[in-house]
A and B are shown apart, each in its own frame.
Chain A
Amino acid sequence: MTATPARRRYVNDKPAQAVLLAGSLLFMTVGLLLPLGELAVKCLTDANGAYVGPDNFIRFFSAASLARALYHSLYVSLMSTLAALPPAFLFAYSLTRTTIPGKAFFRHIAMLPLFAPTMLLGVSLVYLFGRKGIVTSGLFGALPWLGIDIGLYGSTGIIIAEAILVFPPSVMILLTALANSDARLYEAAESLGANKPEIFWSVTLPGVKYGVTSAAFVCFTLVFTDFGVPKVVGGNYGVLATDIYKQVVGQQNFNLGATISVVMLLPTLLAFIADNWLRRRQEGVVNSRSIPLVPKRNATRDLACFAFCLCASSVILAVFLTALFASLANLWPYRLTPTLRHYNFRDYAGGGYLAFWNSVRMAGYSALLGTAMTFGSAYLVEKTRKFAWARRTVYCLSLAPLALPGLVVGLAYIFLFNSAVFSVAGREIPNPLSRLYGTMLLLVVCNVVHFYTVGFLTASAALRQLDREFEAAAESLSVPFYATFRRVTLPLCLPAVIDIAGYFFVSSMATVSAVIFLYTPDLQLASVAVVNMDDAGDSAPAAAMSILIVAANIMAKAVFELASRRARKAAERWRNR
């Protein structure tokens, strides 16, 4: 036996991991906990900072217009959810359980609304169904019999636009639910003599039950908290989101704004909790021994499904093409000759191309910081063994942003970062965080926190697929954790990392709700410019700016998709001879 020493030279991982975990906790504290704390303080105090208890809430519910706004919000959320779910289900069903051609095309078209600021849907609907809209005017008088006024402004317009808006996330959730099927269940049902409708009710639907409820909760929450659509087509139909904006930006009533945002937060939180509770009950329907279902050809069904997908895609395309058409038309509806003059934003409010490039930069930085924070945190939570309590805390904090509407995040940020002093127990202390106000960094942090959970969960799922013993194996070889991370973990998770970056870019580019309170005249943003131009009645440049945002997102998405595909190809090389 050689006298090998028991000890080996090594780098102790513990201090570095402690620092990283502390960094992650600090980020979530400053970016999430402190702003929410300020929000809670604001809704319990008056404009002078005196504690008033539930007075603000009493004021909210006794003001008829505000209470009505709550009812309106609930109503349009429910109706849009009901309007969006059946077509979304049929669409997802067609893409997973039939043999129709062009599935990839349909899938991409369905995702289009995700790339746009939500105002685009409103602007486009105005051009279709508004007072001078294509449909309302009977194709500009060419087809007078078509000229119907659907009374767009108000709940009708909101519900139509929101139904299109929530179509992509519902389709995505239902696609996942329908893809996780077990062919053995269908074979068993058939061998027991069940007919097609019976199989649908007894096997298909129960299998996607959770997907449907989850999609419903997501739809409801998205509509309930959306600001862009009601801002454009709501007219006098006030909802909570526009009321918050009015209170804060119009009347500078921060305390009431905070109160409304807490009222808005409650149903969202309930939906979030209910969804998580259902998810836990649903686990384990499909296991590793399941055999995926391969759809069989059925001419009648496939034809019907194909026709439906074509219709749904046409609606989405029509909305986008209308916006494009409107942005190019010289003087709607009188002179429709094409011009690029609306793309020259010099004469309009909002900041023009400066704002556009600011948005691109912000989206790029958000993609960088967001990916680093979410993947890094997920790595620490999933793959390190020390500091169990800290990792648990990071995990819980990472899930919270999913329940937070963008308006609430933005409002909480302005409360925390725009006040020069904190008053603690009657004493005033200077707020060091106020220096961040009006900086690009704050906008980026706001976006990262707003979209944190989806990135974190994607990273977690990718990391969980890796062998749990990789880290132990590397440790026993005296390789420090960061070297293993760089050489093994990161390369193996590269496709997921690229997906996360793409998600952060596209979401940050299109978002308006969180950043509308945070932009300053020196740092304008494209999506905010859309709101401001539309507010000023400049619909055509608003449409033009929306189109630019969509174009930037499509290009960015294409780049990310290409990179992701290359990364996946590299992974295939490791598996095949």
Chain B
Amino acid sequence: MTAAPEKGNGGGAFPGRRAETPDRGLCVRGVCKSFDRTPVLTNVSLQVAPGEFVCVLGPSGCGKTTLLRVVAGLETPDSGSVLIGGGDVTRIPTAGRGVGIVFQSYALFPNLTALQNVAFGLRRRETGASSIRQKALELLDLVGLAESAQKYPGQLSGGQQQRVALARALAPEPSILLLDEPLSALDAKVRQSLRKEIRRLQRRLGITAVMVTHDQEEALTMSDRMVVMHKGRLTQFASPEEIYRLPSTRFVADFIGAMNFLEGWRAEGAIARYGGIDIRLPAPLGADGSVVTLAIRPEDVQIGRDLFPDENAFVATVAEMEFRGAGYYLTLKALTALKALTDGGKGGMRLEALLSPLRASQLKIGAGDCVKVRLPRERLICFAEDGTAVGFAGGGPE
């Protein structure tokens, strides 16, 4: 999988013509798009490798669906270009792009049977009614609905309809598959199974796929790599693990999963100071004396009864304890020197920790208890005042 976009090795050298370059898959270059002078996409670039599954994640109104529609050719970008399979398709209408689209609403034709729906895009491409029928049946079989071939969409469940829609999109052998929130209209259980099914089919056919979703769990579990978008810009493009572990901005950190933000720390080399507590950071920060925000996931916060033999530990009281099925959420209030130094700010340092039921019973913790808290150095993330991550050992994202 290629990591660095923006190399542009000649994929668009022959506009309107299929260029023979190794640059297959999908390439979006500097796309801008506004509606009624409101920018919806601002300089979005990304490169999806052949056979890769990429999820585009973001809050509603972030431009993710517009990005998908630009790739599909349903919207024309104001500037920038789209390359599919190495050929520039920016000026080519949807019909000529060879994209399969699966919609949130399924968009199955209600007056045609499942079989006719799947065969809808096969009319012109192949000759002979029997071979079209054969191919459509094969595709329905592929999604496990061969026995429902003669049913109308209105007679199928939501999950079945979306599988027919998937088969229909795949029927003309598109070079990329675009999925626009395909699972959000379905029940939780159906969604789970369809996630796996979509991935299984995509791997089996080796097709490049881009899926838009607002469900972070979906993006984290399905993607090879995922894109996080915010206000029309591409904020981070990386593997799900990297996005979760090393969010490039405060927005990403906050948007994906739960995160503690500890404000107002003064950086000095690889140490951050706040009210007498010294926290060692994974790597030295560039500018000494600058104010940073420390961030750590609740599940990374360690809780103990005794003083840890290690650095980055301090004492806190358990203000609240909430049972959440898979574990306990503790709301902790840091004590000691911190309390003295809360100069009218945020009322002391609060943070949340996730404790497994086993560990909770071992520690016998309840609300009001005094506990030792440790923030493991390698799990800490620092954000500068402008919200970008700083001081990663491996270098931050762009």
Contacts and interface: CB of A to CB of B under 8 A. Distances in A.
Interface stretch (A200-208, A237-245, A474-482): A474-482
Nearest to A483: B123
Interface stretch (B91-99, B277-285, B343-351, B363-371): B91-99
B87 A472 contact: no
Given A478-B172, A491-B111, A492-B111, A472 B152 contact: no
A11 B51 CA distance: 28
B94 A476 contact: yes
A435 to B, nearest CB: 40
A10 interface: yes
Given A4-B85, A6-B86, A475 B109 contact: no
B95 A472 contact: no
B154 A6 contact: no
Interface stretch (A129-137, A155-163, A569-577): A569-577
Interface in B94-111: 94-101, 103, 105, 107, 109-111
26 contacts: A4-B85, A4-B98, A5-B18, A6-B86, A6-B97, A7-B98, A8-B97, A9-B96, A9-B125, A13-B93, A14-B93, A472-B107, A473-B103, A473-B107, A473-B165, A476-B97, A476-B99, A476-B174, A477-B121, A477-B172, A478-B172, A479-B123, A488-B111, A492-B110, A574-B154, A576-B154
Given A470-B109, A474-B120, 10 more contacts: A1-B50, A4-B98, A4-B174, A6-B18, A6-B87, A473-B101, A477-B168, A477-B171, A487-B109, A571-B111
B184 to A, nearest CB: 14
Contact of B74 (A12, A13, A472, A574): A472
Nearest to A577: B155
A45 to B, nearest CB: 43
Nearest to A480: B95
B84 interface: yes
B21 to A, nearest CB: 11
A474 B119 CA distance: 11
A7 B120 contact: no
A3 B25 CA distance: 10
A549 to B, nearest CB: 37
Contacts of B146: none
Interface of A: 1-14, 385, 467, 469-470, 472-480, 483, 487-488, 491-492, 571, 573-577
Contacts of B121: 474, 476-479
A484 to B, nearest CB: 8
A118 to B, nearest CB: 40
Nearest to A385: B74
A393 B124 CA distance: 34
Nearest to A12: B93
Contacts of A14: 93
B103 A469 contact: yes
Given A472-B107, A488-B109, A576-B155, A478 B87 contact: no
A472 B108 CA distance: 11
B175 interface: yes
A7 B95 contact: no
Interface in B53-81: 72-74
Contact of B92 (A7, A477, A488, A491): A7
Contact of A2 (B74, B111, B206): B206
B154 A575 contact: yes
Contact of A487 (B84, B112, B171): B112
Contacts of B84: 6
Given A574-B154, A575-B152, A575-B154, A477 B50 contact: no
A469 B105 contact: yes
B89 interface: yes
Interface of B: 18, 24, 50-51, 72-74, 83-87, 89, 92-101, 103, 105, 107, 109-112, 120-121, 123-125, 152-155, 165, 168-169, 171-175, 178, 206, 208
B173 A9 contact: no
Nearest to B26: A6
A481 to B, nearest CB: 9
Given A6-B86, A10-B95, A472-B72, A574 B107 contact: no
Nearest to A11: B95
Contacts of A573: 152
Nearest to B92: A7
B75 to A, nearest CB: 9
A385 B174 CA distance: 23
B69 to A, nearest CB: 8
A181 B324 CA distance: 43
Contacts of B178: 476
Which of A469, A477, A479: most chain B CB closer than 10 A? A477
A391 B103 CA distance: 25
A573 B100 CA distance: 29
B96 A10 contact: yes
A574 B111 contact: yes
B89 A12 contact: no
Contacts of B87: 5-7
Contacts of A492: 110-111
Contacts of B172: 8, 477-478
A576 B178 CA distance: 31
A476 B155 contact: no
A523 to B, nearest CB: 41
Nearest to A570: B111
Nearest to A477: B121
Contacts of B206: 1-2
Contacts of A7: 18, 87, 89, 92, 96-98
Nearest to A470: B107
In this complex, the member of A2, A475, A476, A483 whose beta carbon has the largest number of chain B beta carbons within 10 angstroms is A476
A9 B169 CA distance: 16
B124 to A, nearest CB: 7
B107 A469 contact: yes
A508 B98 CA distance: 48
Contacts of A6: 18, 83-87, 89, 97-98, 175
B94 to A, nearest CB: 4
Nearest to B93: A12
